[in-house]
Structure 1
Amino acid sequence: MPVVSRRIEHSSSYPFPVAEVHAALTGEQYWRDRLAEVGGDGAALDAITPTASGGVTVTMTQAIPEDHLPSIVTKIRPGDLIITRTETWGPLVGGRATGTFAAEVEGAPAQISGNQTLAGENGSSTIDVNGAAEVKIPLVGGKIESAIADEILRLLDREQEFTGAWLAR
């Protein structure tokens, strides 16, 4: 049986120069502030590792309380979901930076991964996210993937709002 995954596509636009957005995405204070505001209870910045080329790797842990999860998820895996997320951003080269993102759910055969691109022109910037959610559970995996993808899109919207407000400070 082939593995089918649910696509995740999101675009965030900011009225700020690409260099300013990249500086935020590669700075520790941005990540600390973002997790504090939109990371949820118990969110933690596990590591932020700058690269020699001007990029960064960020690892964080977040939890989704059981009472916020769809019943299809809690029937299969009761309790809060503990999620380890990793984001990378490469250096800004020619007004563009690329990166990756991944998330794994503790104790569940679920994974989210993909690529992200930051680009800009005329003093504004856009981050495009393209990825997939995959749940390896026969019969109900697709339904869970849809629920996860919907939650990821809502989270990306909240992170976009936060980033815009953070940059405006």
Structure 2
Amino acid sequence: MPTDLTHVEPYPCSLEQLYTTLTEPRYWRDRVESMAGGGGELIACTADDQGFRAVVRQPIPTASIPAALTRFVPSRVSVEYTESWLPRESETATGTFVSTVVSMPASIDARVELRAVGPHRCDMHFAGTVTASVPVVGAMVEKMMAAQTAEGFRIEREFSLDWLARPRV
């Protein structure tokens, strides 16, 4: 049975600053290079009049897989995710986040929205479902994916704020 996942992450920057960052190819190259010790791969990064799309493949460290799951999952596990943003037309920005565990029937499908809270603050709203149709341990896989996604929000926020603070050349 799918697990609902909702999260709100506050950002101390304007919606415009965060949206511009999340739709910047250089941000994605830097993000993938720094996350998980640089073991990820930016598969695609495109922007056009339909919006922005980044596709990333990221390994999941074996140590982060609960011992009870190790006999049910492949020895090497990676996640491929796509984050897409529509062109901005109002005081919000909307997008999607789709994540699939490679070689395992497990995924996250979510809607993402940036909402201005003030001139120098916005919130990222994330609402979706985690689905893992793995016999016997599906609920445990969903719980693990939900926990890793929550940790991912914190890591992404830290990276994004650090990236925003860097001088641009």
Measured after TM superposition, the shift of residue 138 of structure 1 is 3.0
Contact 2:14–2:116 (Cα < 8 Å) also in 1: yes
1:37 and 2:37 matched: no
Measured after TM superposition, the shift of residue 121 of structure 1 is 3.6
Aligned structure 1 segments of 4 or more residues deviating by more than 4 angstroms: none
1:153 and 2:145 matched: no
CA distance in 2, matches of 1:143, 1:152: 14
Secondary structure, aligned partner of 2:17: helix
CA distance in 2, matches of 1:129, 1:148: 14
1:84-139: CA deviation from partner (whole Å, max 9, x where unpaired) = 11010111111211000111111111111110001114221111111111110233
CA distance in 2, matches of 1:11, 1:80: 31
- TM-score when normalising by structure 2: 0.91
- TM-score when normalising by structure 1: 0.91
Contact 2:49–2:87 (Cα < 8 Å) also in 1: no
2:64 to 55, 61, 68: 68
Q: Could you tell me the percent identity over the aligned residues?
A: 30
RMSD (CA atoms):
1.4
1:27 to 4, 24, 37: 24
In structure 2, do the counterparts of structure 1 residues 73 and 40 end up closer, same or farther at CA, with 3 Å as the change threshold? Answer: farther
Matches within 5 A, 1:88-99: 88-99=84-95
In structure 2, do the counterparts of structure 1 residues 154 and 134 end up closer, same or farther at CA, with 3 Å as the change threshold? Answer: same
CA distance in 1, matches of 2:82, 2:36: 13
CA distance in 2, matches of 1:34, 1:154: 15
Q: What residue is the counterpart of 2:164 in the other structure?
A: 167
Structure 1 portions without partners, runs of 5+:
none
Secondary structure, aligned partner of 2:71: helix
1:53-74: CA deviation from partner (whole Å, max 9, x where unpaired) = 4x20110100012232112321
CA distance in 2, matches of 1:159, 1:65: 17
Letter in 1 for 2:45: I
Structure 2 portions without partners, runs of 5+:
none
